[in-house]
Structure 1
Amino acid sequence: MSVRNGRQFLSIPGPTTVPDAVLAAMHRPAIDIRKGELVDITADIQHNLLALAQTAGTPFIYIANGHGAWEAALSNVLSRNDKVLVLESGSFAAGWGQSGATIGIDVEILPGSWTAAVDPAQLEARLRQDVSGDIKAILVVQIDTATSVVNDIPALRRAIDAAGHNALLMVDTIASLGTMTYKMDDWGVDVTVAACQKGLMMSPGLSFTIAGEKAMARHETANLRTAYWDWTARQGPEHYQKYAGTPPVHMLYGLQKALQLIREEGLDAIITRHRLLAEATRCAVSKWAEGGMFSFNITNPAERANSVTTVLIKDEQALAKIHSYCDTKCGVVIGIGISALSGKALRIAHMGHINAPMLLGTLGAIEMSLKAHAIPHGNGGVQAAIEYLADNVPL
């Protein structure tokens, strides 16, 4: 017996649910890749990416997931044996650094916590020690989906400036762009990395780098540049050069539609929607935590991301029961803990194409699983989420 028949809820932190309108936009024939409509589509996508990142930088589109954009960003501004400083706050900044190590970059990790954001004071102290300027770039994620932390990018920029350091600030916004405020130029970010499958509501397979003036200047002397990732080659006069070959025509159809939906809703409204749904989730988790089994991974409420919530659980067997029940009985796929939190956490995604009924359905399925398996928890999590939204979504 189950109640799962119907549309599945995908409540994992990427890929996220793709809107029907985006799926429909991809369902059309291919067109000329060298001139006409597709050239205009590329220009429209680039314009909208710059608007989302709030920058006048130079955008590049890759037929790759976020890991590809990581390598693109590094190889275009660095040379062999250059040192980068990775700001640890979970899994993904370290992963970015590891990808650089494979292409000849010297990687140093600034140790951090899996339960808190990067400490700007610790960054400033390390940069002041680097009197010879060996560190050429600083790598950080705005949101880490393993830990569900959000890092304060403006504060990190201030720390770099206070130290008087000239390293590039490179920010991964894969889990944050289109879900929260991001101001590349105002915050002094030199390179932005993004991808399409989270807040941008598109099927995986496209990723992006946006380069500021300082990054473009470093690009001129970088010797890790390769034919596929190279920014210079991708600025050639022919349209196909923007993709280093044949463009991903149907994915561009879909991405253009997704960005149109974002534009129509409005970035301020999107950021507010994500904040409200995230806080509703946190209200539910706070109630469940009263039973002693659950806790927030990020201890400081101000450092909890508005795109995903990582919830620690003391009993690994109970974790497996929750995931199985939600999927097989309710048709809801909940995110699992990854890396250091594998087997220790569940992750509730609330990003991209999501509304109150979808979130409440996800929270309801989780609470059903807790009751069905008699897993200790505080009652009334879903009710707490409803009350929060009722109080904060005006008539």
Structure 2
Amino acid sequence: MAGYHQLFIPGPTNMPDRIRSAIDRPMENHRAPDFGELTLPLLEDLKKVFKTEHGRVFVFPGTGTGGWEATITNTLSPGDTVLAARHGQFSDQWIQLCQAHGLNVRVCDRSWHEGAPVQQFAEILQADTDHEIKAVLTCHNETATGVTSDIAGVRRALDDAGHPALLFVDGVSSIASLDFRMDEWGVDAAVTGSQKGFMMPTGLAIVAVSPKALEAAKTSKLGSFYFDFQRNGMSHQNGFFPYTPATTLLYGLRESVNMLLEEGMDNVAARHNRLAEGVRKAVDAWGLSLCGNDPALHSDTVSTVMVPEGVDGGAVVRHAYERYDMALGGGLGPLAGKVFRIGHMGYVNEVMLLGALAGVEMALNDCGAAIQPGSGVAAAQNHFRAAGAATAMAAE
């Protein structure tokens, strides 16, 4: 099929030519004396993406799941109790990972239409006067449902209870796209991957860790070698790794961070909000709804759209792929067949997203949904024009 394949899944995301060019380079010696000229400034600049001055960033070959495992194995011990909510596919997988490592997980089962239960967390933490809970796990943005969680609220719950538990955040589909404030929110470990907001190929797990979490790593008994913070940290001090790093991806990450900081992290978050609001206007115009019950928690990186009665969400995704050469995200777990997902994070602008919305309209109609052609596109256009005009006036 002529033209570009349209990629609108919630990761991997579209890769800019600048990053593609940065990665396309000959192999080199990762033990060369000047290798730190690449890695040391990169590790420092990554802290700006997480908005931390006090934390430390580790970059591992892997994915976000590897980052989860690094966080857990470095800071906790067998039998430790952790608190987590299960309200989506990826929050559930983090719980399973903890259980696989012999941790006692106190699970708050919630609807997949909600974010993390801040009030329930607060009540549990207040009651835990013996401080048995060693860590609280929260997904900032549940990629399966398109629902965000109030990380600042979870931090307030910990502080109000005077509770010393560590706060761990899955930021795989939020960091480098949504507003994320590691130091301000008191996050002790924030996990993400290279293939979403960083606009890169899959292959890097990026973990920012607070001084408190680094201190916990000194007494952790779970054990880690490949992901060991202390072992990696000693090498990182001089810009090296204790194993062969993904060198070409590090060059891509360098260019990614350059692009993010050139735009400015606040501007990156504002752009994602503007684009996501256009998608939400389109969904309203179609007469459909998003998965999340609370509009305040609708994600700015992925919209999980409920399909109308009688329409199979999986069929919509397949048809869009086969007929229009466009990749959408399907429903996961109990949402399979009930939703489709539009990813709008990373290297995306208004016109790209309008094309995606037009493709969605065609696929929905072809699969039996009574959608007025052009209705969602027009609603998004009107929003983008108004939002663009307001942004231009503010800049003058």
TM category (shorter chain) comes to over 0.9
After TM superposition, the runs of 4+ consecutive aligned structure 1 residues lying more than 6 A away are: 238-241
For 2:237 and 2:126, locate their aligned partners in 1 and report how far apart those are by CA, in whole Å.
44
For 1:152 and 1:123, locate their aligned partners in 2 and report how far apart those are by CA, in whole Å.
12
Deviation per CA, 1:144-183, whole angstroms, max 9, x where unpaired?
0101111111111101111221110111111101111111
**Is the Cα–Cα contact under 8 Å of residues 311 and 345 in structure 1 kept in the other structure?**
yes
Q: AA paired with 1:326?
A: A
The RMSD of aligned alpha carbons is 1.8
Structure 1 residue aligned with 2:381: 386
Identity in percent: 34
Structure 2 residue aligned with 1:108: 106
SS across alignment from 1:393: helix
Over 3 Å counting, the alpha-carbon distance change for 1:170 and 1:390 in structure 2 is same
Q: AA paired with 1:355?
A: N
**Is the Cα–Cα contact under 8 Å of residues 360 and 382 in structure 1 kept in the other structure?**
yes
Structure 1 residue aligned with 2:297: 303
Q: AA paired with 1:236?
A: M
Judge which range, 17-26 or 315-324, deviates more: 315-324
- Among 23, 30, 34, the alignment partner of 1:33 is 30
SS across alignment from 1:61: strand
Over 3 Å counting, the alpha-carbon distance change for 1:196 and 1:57 in structure 2 is same
Q: AA paired with 2:184?
A: D
Structure 1 residue aligned with 2:206: 208
Q: Is 1:319 matched with 2:313?
A: yes
Shift of 1:134: 1.1
For 1:14 and 1:52, locate their aligned partners in 2 and report how far apart those are by CA, in whole Å.
18
- Among 228, 231, 238, the alignment partner of 1:230 is 228
- Ranges in structure 1 where 5+ consecutive residues have no aligned partner: none
Deviation per CA, 1:316-335, whole angstroms, max 9, x where unpaired?
65424422332222221111
Q: Is 1:69 matched with 2:64?
A: no
Aligned pairs (5 A) from 1:263-282: 263-282=261-280
Aligned pairs (5 A) from 1:186-197: 186-197=184-195
For 2:240 and 2:372, locate their aligned partners in 1 and report how far apart those are by CA, in whole Å.
53
- Among 349, 367, 383, the alignment partner of 1:355 is 349
**Is the Cα–Cα contact under 8 Å of residues 33 and 240 in structure 1 kept in the other structure?**
no
**Is the Cα–Cα contact under 8 Å of residues 88 and 140 in structure 1 kept in the other structure?**
no
- Among 317, 328, 337, the alignment partner of 2:331 is 337
Structure 1 residue aligned with 2:7: 10
For 1:224 and 1:242, locate their aligned partners in 2 and report how far apart those are by CA, in whole Å.
25
Shift of 1:111: 2.2
Shift of 1:191: 1.1
Q: AA paired with 2:325?
A: G
For 2:137 and 2:279, locate their aligned partners in 1 and report how far apart those are by CA, in whole Å.
29
- Among 249, 269, 283, the alignment partner of 1:251 is 249
Q: AA paired with 2:19?
A: V
Q: AA paired with 1:337?
A: G
Taking structure 2 as the reference length, the TM-score comes to 0.94
Structure 2 residue aligned with 1:164: 162
**Is the Cα–Cα contact under 8 Å of residues 33 and 239 in structure 1 kept in the other structure?**
no
Structure 1 residue aligned with 2:286: 288
**Is the Cα–Cα contact under 8 Å of residues 233 and 241 in structure 1 kept in the other structure?**
no
Deviation per CA, 1:66-99, whole angstroms, max 9, x where unpaired?
1111000001110111011112332212211211
Aligned pairs (5 A) from 1:78-117: 78-117=76-115
**Is the Cα–Cα contact under 8 Å of residues 81 and 103 in structure 2 kept in the other structure?**
yes
SS across alignment from 2:328: strand
Structure 2 residue aligned with 1:44: 41
For 2:315 and 2:148, locate their aligned partners in 1 and report how far apart those are by CA, in whole Å.
29
SS across alignment from 2:35: helix
**Is the Cα–Cα contact under 8 Å of residues 78 and 221 in structure 2 kept in the other structure?**
yes
Shift of 1:187: 0.8
**Is the Cα–Cα contact under 8 Å of residues 314 and 340 in structure 2 kept in the other structure?**
no
For 1:37 and 1:9, locate their aligned partners in 2 and report how far apart those are by CA, in whole Å.
40
SS across alignment from 2:229: coil
Shift of 1:122: 1.0
Structure 2 residue aligned with 1:54: 51
For 2:317 and 2:291, locate their aligned partners in 1 and report how far apart those are by CA, in whole Å.
18
SS across alignment from 2:382: helix
SS across alignment from 1:329: helix
For 2:161 and 2:362, locate their aligned partners in 1 and report how far apart those are by CA, in whole Å.
52
- Among 135, 143, 150, the alignment partner of 1:152 is 150
Q: AA paired with 1:175?
A: S
- Ranges in structure 2 where 5+ consecutive residues have no aligned partner: none
For 1:205 and 1:128, locate their aligned partners in 2 and report how far apart those are by CA, in whole Å.
40
Aligned pairs (5 A) from 1:125-136: 125-136=123-134
**Is the Cα–Cα contact under 8 Å of residues 235 and 242 in structure 1 kept in the other structure?**
no
Taking structure 1 as the reference length, the TM-score comes to 0.94
